[in-house]
Structure 1
Amino acid sequence: MVDSLHSQAFTLGRQQETPFYIFSQDRLSSALQRFRQFTSSLPFPTETYYSYKTNYLPALCDQIAEARVGSEITSPAEWAAARRRHAPDRIVVNGIGKCADGLLQSIVDEVASAPRLVNLETDTEIGIVARRDQEAQPLPIGLRVTIPSVSGELGRDPSEHWKRGVTKFGWSCDGDAILAAARTLAGNRAVRLEALHVHFGSQLVSAARYDVVLSKLCNLLRRLSSAGVTVNTLDLGGGLASGWVTKRRTGPLFDLVKVLGLPTPRSQQKAPDLVGITTVVHKHAARLSSLGVTRLIFEPGRYLAEPAMVAVAKVIAVRRDGTRRHAVVDLGTNGLHCWRSNETRPIAFDLAGKGGAEMMKLVGPLCHRSDSFGTVTTPGRLQAGDLVCFDAVGAYSLGDWVANAWPRPPVFSEDGHLLWAPPSHGLPANSPSGGR
């Protein structure tokens, strides 16, 4: 069955210069609905704040704001974008970047208003907020917690976690430093310590991981209570997988297990176990309540944005040299920086010619070893001029433009309406949100 968005993408691909993105309002609405069904099943009132760093396309951020979802930001630029859509009390502030350009200081200096929550993770940040005017509106504060024994579900074996060592973000939940930080803030009437914030990985899928994290947080809450500090909110961050991307288990330990012919853990992960995660939260609800927790916060980014965009590219060259078969497209992995070698994402083709299916390595034009989308099976024989649709690229693609500073492709709506174009592209942005 051909996806209707792919058909629309190919129709537009025959009318517009490639490469470009397409943003789907319907897919975003569907993801929002699924996430709300999940949060409504939890045993605590739950607030949702969209992570701007995932994708700051104005049309996408506008739609999320209109759906009464707040903003989670990590930088001065994101703060400015969020303030165009929300009052401060609908914004959660995270990340080390909040010290850049004096953002945190300006928040502290604004005595008449405050964000919904400012999650701190360094002693330097505590020093800044401690200078808030004692007569100002109290600044709601969270402390970022790191769980040393829990790493992200990245589809890699444990050796990848061992190599990375201890995370640089936040205070260890098992240490004494976080108790000292909590005591310092609890004694300042200009701030209100009300949350613990934990971001414990990317592409999260398993309920077991939430079980470990909540158990650790309960222990920390007990230690804080013994120190005379109570918080009422748990911010469980983002990282939840969208369900559109399959990750393969990789790493030297898994390779060794395969060579030895031993049984391996489940080799792929994709859809998050929302029912299981809900069950885990219910399991810990009574203990969390007894320790003072009355509210949860989530900061979904990938879950909402990833399925909301596709990219359209054109085949510009094909090589069939014995067993070496390569198709080069006019969009590289610099444009789809979200693409990882251990991931499988939906790919569709619009072919002009005939012929049987073939295995083909799909690569970009950058002449770099990382510029590869992987080996795919095409529905027919590829040739120059054919179109390729890369699906589920809405997260960390438009914004995370890191390698090779090529002009960013424009973004269209499903009906071909231009939503955004880079200044160098030369296209008129004929949308109220275009060019912002």
Structure 2
Amino acid sequence: MNHFDYHDGELYAEQVAISRIAREVGTPFYCYSTATLVRHYTVFADALKAAGLDATVCFACKANPNLAVIRTFAELGAGADVVSEGELRQALAAGVPPGRIVFSGVGKTLHELEFAVAKGILQINVESEPELLLLSQVAAARGVRMPIALRVNPDVDAGTHAKITTGKKENKFGIEWTRAREVYALAQSLPGVEVVGVACHIGSQLTELEPFREAFLRVRDLVALLRADGIDIRRLDLGGGLGVPYDGETPPSPAAYAKVMAETLGDLGCRIVVEPGRLLVGNAGILVSRVVYVKEGATRTFLIVDAAMNDLMRPALYDAHHAIFPVHQARPGEEPVEVDVVGPVCESGDTFAKQRRLPPMRSGDLLAFGTAGAYGAAMSSTYNTRPLVPEVLVKDEAYAVVRARPSYDEMRALESLPDWF
């Protein structure tokens, strides 16, 4: 469910007309609905509670690191899952308590580990032996023992896109399942870390529960082995990955997901950490763009819009589907036509949709790309020297620009010419 609806033929975000934002902010822009963010978090957290799980929900900031979005979740009691120092700083600035922050990621640098240890966050999910040894040195030098979970790779096929699966043995993430006990024994012997848990994340945009069940059962077996080895496992970090509907998918409900979690792990006496990202923000955001030209090609019609692949990378990167719909509904008597929706960037890959049926559009008309709240603005760039897209947060009848569009002068101020010019 989301809070983007038509009123008298015009698209609104909650009680704010999208056309009004377009006039005042300019296009393209991202628009997020506070009501949708709140609803998605509440439904997810309530499902875990109803299943009898002692759980902490840490929003995966990589899906949407906007300060206002993170703050919205923080005020609801959420923690944060971060994968860089930048995201950690963003979470802290948004008001997430350090004790509700988990630091994940396969390539944490020395400086990032030092910063995380100094901030006293909940835990670091360690993904390799070299990282484990470095972290122990960093923490021991400060006279502390850093709480950690080792991320284990259960070799489970998530059944999702190859570029967003993370739990197979050929993926770069985590410690190989068959070596987990050996690495846990090493961790237990180190002076700068305190082993508190097991971490596992098998991928993103999962639309079936069976891969979760298989991974959770492997985690259960590992917990039994580690406890037999005398290691006090009291926390399970189960990652995220539950999918959202982009193109007719019917992902499992949070209640069904929580039920599988409770059935497989609920009797272990462990605190559960879950890290949803896309599930919380995907349907809470749209990208709004304006038609620049309608171009009649030799074999098809091109709808050239002012958003581009640098603004919404997912179609070019993953061949991802996003619903596309007009901000003003079709005029009476107008029948849909097939068009290719493309951007202005000088790449053939700058294509959002091919032969998509849309109402006849004219230059200046507004379009919205649905389910764009996750990995939209987060993955945007300034390719072709295009300014980053502004982000807007709506609440009831009000809206605020929560990331401004930089000017060309502001972009150029980040560069300089060397003295020899």
What is the TM-score when the length of structure 1 is the normalising length? 0.81
Matched, 1:419 2:402: yes
Q: 1:381-396 residue pairs with structure 2 within 5 A?
A: 381-396=360-375
Task: Measure how far apart 1:386 and its partner are.
Answer: 0.9
Q: Residue 44 of structure 1 corresponds to which residue in structure 2?
A: 53
Q: Residue 24 of structure 1 corresponds to which residue in structure 2?
A: 33
Q: Residue 245 of structure 1 corresponds to which residue in structure 2?
A: 246
Task: Measure how far apart 1:189 and its partner are.
Answer: 5.4
Maintained 8 Å contact 1:205/1:273: no
Task: Measure how far apart 1:397 and its partner are.
Answer: 1.4
Q: What do the CA deviations read for 1:198-251 (whole angstroms, capped 9, x no partner)?
A: 11111022221111111111222233233332311111112222x3412xxxxx
Q: Residue 168 of structure 1 corresponds to which residue in structure 2?
A: 172
Q: Kindly tell me: are residues 141 and 226 of structure 1, through their superposed partners in 2, closer, same or farther at Cα, counting changes over 3 Å?
A: same
Q: Residue 261 of structure 1 corresponds to which residue in structure 2?
A: none
* Unaligned segments of structure 1, at least 5 residues: 247-267, 428-436
3-state SS, counterpart of residue 141 of structure 1: strand
Q: 1:210-225 residue pairs with structure 2 within 5 A?
A: 210-225=212-227
Q: Residue 104 of structure 2 corresponds to which residue in structure 1?
A: 94
Q: What do the CA deviations read for 1:152-171 (whole angstroms, capped 9, x no partner)?
A: 523x7xx9989x97011111
Q: Residue 150 of structure 1 corresponds to which residue in structure 2?
A: 157
Q: 2:301 aligns with which of 325, 328, 331?
A: 325
Maintained 8 Å contact 1:145/1:198: yes
Q: Kindly tell me: are residues 62 and 352 of structure 1, through their superposed partners in 2, closer, same or farther at Cα, counting changes over 3 Å?
A: same
Matched, 1:369 2:377: no
Distance 2:278 2:134 in 1: 31
Q: Residue 62 of structure 2 corresponds to which residue in structure 1?
A: 53
Task: Measure how far apart 1:20 and its partner are.
Answer: 1.4
Q: 1:279 aligns with which of 259, 273, 278?
A: 259
Distance 2:165 2:21 in 1: 43
RMSD: 2.9
Q: Kindly tell me: are residues 348 and 34 of structure 1, through their superposed partners in 2, closer, same or farther at Cα, counting changes over 3 Å?
A: farther
Q: Residue 319 of structure 2 corresponds to which residue in structure 1?
A: 341
Maintained 8 Å contact 2:81/2:103: yes
3-state SS, counterpart of residue 109 of structure 2: helix
Distance 1:418 1:372 in 2: 27
User: Is the deviation greater in 213-222 or in 5-14?
Assistant: 5-14
Report how many residues are paired: 390
Q: Residue 208 of structure 1 corresponds to which residue in structure 2?
A: 210
Q: Kindly tell me: are residues 353 and 346 of structure 1, through their superposed partners in 2, closer, same or farther at Cα, counting changes over 3 Å?
A: closer
Q: What do the CA deviations read for 1:129-174 (whole angstroms, capped 9, x no partner)?
A: 32233894432110011121323523x7xx9989x9701111122x
Task: Measure how far apart 1:412 and its partner are.
Answer: 2.4
3-state SS, counterpart of residue 133 of structure 1: helix
Maintained 8 Å contact 1:207/1:273: no
3-state SS, counterpart of residue 331 of structure 1: coil
Q: 1:350 aligns with which of 317, 321, 328?
A: 328
Distance 2:164 2:236 in 1: 28
Q: Kindly tell me: are residues 33 and 390 of structure 1, through their superposed partners in 2, closer, same or farther at Cα, counting changes over 3 Å?
A: same
Maintained 8 Å contact 2:151/2:198: yes
Distance 1:160 1:52 in 2: 16
Distance 1:300 1:245 in 2: 17
Distance 1:187 1:297 in 2: 25
Distance 2:341 2:189 in 1: 59
Q: Kindly tell me: are residues 278 and 171 of structure 1, through their superposed partners in 2, closer, same or farther at Cα, counting changes over 3 Å?
A: same
Match of 2:242, as an amino acid?
L
3-state SS, counterpart of residue 276 of structure 1: helix
Task: Measure how far apart 1:80 and its partner are.
Answer: 1.5
Q: 1:192-203 residue pairs with structure 2 within 5 A?
A: 192-203=194-205
Distance 1:231 1:301 in 2: 25
Q: Kindly tell me: are residues 308 and 425 of structure 1, through their superposed partners in 2, closer, same or farther at Cα, counting changes over 3 Å?
A: farther
Task: Measure how far apart 1:367 and its partner are.
Answer: 3.3
Distance 1:160 1:14 in 2: 36
Match of 1:410, as an amino acid?
P
Q: Kindly tell me: are residues 12 and 70 of structure 1, through their superposed partners in 2, closer, same or farther at Cα, counting changes over 3 Å?
A: same
Q: 1:72-83 residue pairs with structure 2 within 5 A?
A: 72-83=81-92
Q: Kindly tell me: are residues 83 and 418 of structure 1, through their superposed partners in 2, closer, same or farther at Cα, counting changes over 3 Å?
A: closer
Distance 1:221 1:150 in 2: 21
Task: Measure how far apart 1:417 and its partner are.
Answer: 2.9
Maintained 8 Å contact 1:353/1:382: no
Q: Kindly tell me: are residues 295 and 352 of structure 1, through their superposed partners in 2, closer, same or farther at Cα, counting changes over 3 Å?
A: closer
